[in-house]
Structure 1
């Protein structure tokens, strides 16, 4: 990295930030109503929203974390990608159409449709805020590692300052642009990201005479694990416990995607359910293309850069893709790839911040505090103030988690989403008897159980790769709690409904069923 031209690196993504801030400003100037701010007025097509969905979903965990996981762990690192691609089928078949037909702005609209509104909306908002914060912390940690690599910043204080700057820019996107501006940033970012990984993949294979076998052979030579990186078991096959840990991770990735608040909120930006389905198809194609490229990039980084150089660089595993770009094309290509990665982080975190702030303003402030009689302007103002608070919390969490593999950190957010949201959504959409008590038991039971298990897992303490490696209070053996928390959340929702003496409102249930299937009355208002 000593030969890298820092001015080029900073200049490339500085230009990107300025251009996208201008686009956000222009798009945000047309935010007239709260529908514009929360859901862009439902004015995007399925193709546009699908590209934006992929831009919202393909985060630093995908570009930096998975490339690094493959570069260090080989085959097992790619298992993240498989789970995330397959997961979109659940969104396509079960969630997208019914969610778009039933809700307006947030996930709480669906959960509270036929329940007691105030407690359910408060629960949905709490879950959204926690999930968004976990996800944002991973992105901020990725930003710290990326910028530390570019600027050769090894001190924790310097990396903390970098994370703070990223957080400030991200909050600006949300404050100025709302959903319209954020969507256009995600569309632009997705286009740049897919184009960059495709070109980088082609350049990389060309380095080995377009012979993948030669690249893989070189990779095994540069890895201390040797030929084992080409087979499953390096990370998740060492023991029966590690195999269970992988199964838990797979469940979190599979079910978490269809219950992430910032992904679900994007279905409200299209005019009808047909466009919502098209969004998922477009997003799936974009995501699948991207992950196929990361497989090549991960092994390419192992072959050209080497595992030792990757793990010793600022940012650790997250440095694999930028280091690979530097080895292929020098400082200029590094600057371009870093700009794309930086844009990825900004766009994803902006979407998360918007989702968290919208959920608090719409579900808590407008519906719970103001009893549904909030002035639209004051509601948007509260959303913007919430965005600032969420941004500050994400900066603090990102500083604490700096150095962790971002794909691993994001997997924890997926486990929380799958535990708190998915059972409640599926029960609300498909089980007639489901009631308010079941909803609250499912949300709070899944949320609290998952957080407790994470707090006392090896992810937080008890191992060299933990967030707090010097401490050891881990009594739960699995790094990802999905295999325990997801089924128990379904069970909690079922038991809460069965034991409750207050049945669901049959009229509201019938209305929701008709609306979910036909789209009658689903226009944004």
Structure 2
């Protein structure tokens, strides 16, 4: 209890000096709203329930295996729900709905990109991950390679993804709660940081899994109700909903002061231009305008999914490869269903939110920014009680994702670096667990501090950068180490670092950072996502340096492929597997 009190005090004192940013697309500077007591009450119920789960889980968390992977005792169905809970972040719920609200059809690039990564995981990764790994994806990548260099790379890639993703979620928490609950910003950050540390420190993967399962059920139930209430107003006809959305967008375009000027410049009537803008929400071209950016962005979302360390880590929580396949099936089912709902929610917001002056500022902007479209829709279809429920779910969403991210970052430091690199595999389970808990505290503190530093910046690139790094560094190494016989330690390590550094470098010189953050006049790198270039660089680097590698170690790496392939495809020798 003394530790918890110290953590609360530290977070409170630190967070009092500032505030935080956005999960997914930028949430903007949310204005503080009147205190939403319904939302606070519902969130309190969620917190109390999950703290009881943490207490129960703490009694079961005795070893490093319990802490990292819940002892491998999670079923495929439970793990599928937990993966969905881990994956359906605030960026998904609020960001995709907002993208559809603003751009219509084009907003689906997020849904499609996030979803199509799952077949890659299903057919190429899930079973092999479970059969080859123990705690982290580095266990898989390093199976037949020299441990030290590949573990250092894997830990670097994991921490890069985790930090960018973690900061975005923490900042999102501050902005969301400032808007939704009426709490002071620093209080929201302190609550999220403290609760996350309690879940992870004391309950480990068992508590984190059940927090994610509960949150997934709440989010799916809330989104289903919203979509049902929207469609109910149109006799459950999506066509009628889309037709009304076109009508609303056309009407809003007619009231745009710039319309007459634009119409004159194009030589068309204002009415015709307004009608064109209304219909445009049902076609592509509103969001990502050039083909290279569209391909690169899509690649980051698709292949980044297969390289996210906190998602890959979940495959080690099930007892067998068969349960790993079940996990992916159920996760894909729930995530796919959820993304269909976000499309309906986005179009519902066009119809019910954009036409309601109660949800807008005096300047005509949406209260709290466009990312609040789904939240305002909750009030439009379910009143203050449902608004309170969705507000609490949004907070729970961030808590669940942050817990999973922190656990994967802690495992990278304690298992990959401390146990394997520094202690050469001779660290005891107790020592590894102690280092992991210390890392958890440091990660939580760093997340809050960096969130404060980036308070007023547009950090929409953070989540997409996390996906781009995962696609450019983690995925190529994982893919080539498991499926290419001639891959070597030197090739995987150098190629992986090439992907990691190029993804970071190209993002820095892109508009997101070079212009929006560093305030230069023009971006050096002209595209919105680096993945097309950095991912190819990673794959080419792995191939080139593996082919050129004539060292004695390279011969050992190549000779070990057959044994790795047998185990990855049959499970013979895998922990908890009977070889099926």
TM exceeding 0.5: yes
Among 373, 379, 401, which residue is 1:320 paired with? 373
How far the C-alpha of 1:473 sits from its partner, in A, is: 6.7
* Cα separation, partners in 2 of 1:16 and 1:336, compared to 1, 3 Å: same
Q: Distance in 2 between matches of 1:472 and 1:42?
A: 52
Q: Deviations over 1:389-424 (max 9, x none)?
A: 112222234345557888753222111001011111
1:303 equivalenced with 2:329 (yes/no): no
* Superposed displacement of residue 256, structure 1: 0.8
Unaligned runs of 5+ in 1: none
Give TM-score, length-normalised by structure 2: 0.84
Q: TM-score, normalised by structure 1?
A: 0.92
Render the CA deviation track for 1:28-54: whole Å, top value 9, x for unaligned: 221111111111111111111111111
* Partner in structure 1 of residue 409 of structure 2: 356
Select which of 496, 519, 525 maps to 2:571: 519
1:111-130 equivalences in 2 (<5 Å) = 111-130=141-160
Is the counterpart of residue 290 in structure 1 residue 343 in structure 2?
no
1: CA distance, partners of 2:194 / 2:187 = 11
Return the match for 1:488 from 510, 532, 537. Answer: 537
The question of whether the paired residues in 1 share the 8 Å contact of 2:158 and 2:409 is answered with yes
The range that moved more, 351-360 or 130-139, is 130-139
Q: Kindly tell me: are residues 407 and 329 of structure 1, through their superposed partners in 2, closer, same or farther at Cα, counting changes over 3 Å?
A: farther
How far the C-alpha of 1:357 sits from its partner, in A, is 0.2
Q: Deviations over 1:175-229 (max 9, x none)?
A: 1110111111111111111111111111122234434344334433255453222
Q: What is the match of residue 367 of structure 1?
A: 420
State the partner residue of 1:254.
302
Once the two structures are superposed, residues 211-249 of structure 1 have per-residue CA deviations (whole angstroms, 9 ceiling, x without a partner) of 434433443325545322221111123xxxx33211111
The 8 Å contact of residues 178 and 185 in structure 2, kept in 1 or not, is answered as yes
Residues 57, 404 of structure 1: CA spacing in aligned structure 2 closer, same or farther, 3 A cutoff?
farther
Q: How many residues get paired?
A: 513
Unaligned runs of 5+ in 2: 1-30, 254-276
Separation in structure 2 between the aligned mates of residue 219 and residue 61 of structure 1, nearest angstrom: 23
2: CA distance, partners of 1:76 / 1:471: 29
Given candidates 37, 42, 65, the residue that maps to 2:67 is 37
**What SS does structure 2 have at the residue aligned with 1:359?**
helix
Structure 2 residue aligned with 1:393: 446
Q: Taking structure 1 as reference, are residues 315 and 495 closer, same or farther at Cα in structure 2, changes over 3 Å only?
A: farther
Q: Specify which of 558, 561, 574 is matched with residue 509 of structure 1.
A: 561
Contact map agreement 1:101 1:519 (CA 8 A) in 2: yes
Q: What is residue 453 of structure 1 aligned with on the other side?
A: 506
User: Post-superposition shift, 1:296?
Assistant: 0.3
Is this contact kept in 2: 1:273–1:519, CA < 8 A?
yes
Q: Does 1:144 align with 2:174?
A: yes
The secondary structure found in structure 1 opposite 2:513 is coil
CA contact (8 A) 2:34 2:182 kept: no
Distance in 1 (CA, whole Å) between partners of 2:302 and 2:509 is 23
Instruction: Confirm or deny: 8 A CA contact 2:33 2:178 kept in the other structure.
Output: no
Among residues 468, 477, 481, which one is paired with 1:424 in the alignment? Answer: 477
- The 3 A distance-change label for structure 1 pair 504 and 92 is farther
Give 1:169's aligned residue. 195
Q: Distance in 2 between matches of 1:483 and 1:322?
A: 34
Deviation at 1:290, TM superposition (A): 0.3
Return the index of the structure with the highest Cα Rg. 2
- Equivalent residue runs for 1:20-99 within 5 Å: 20-99=50-129
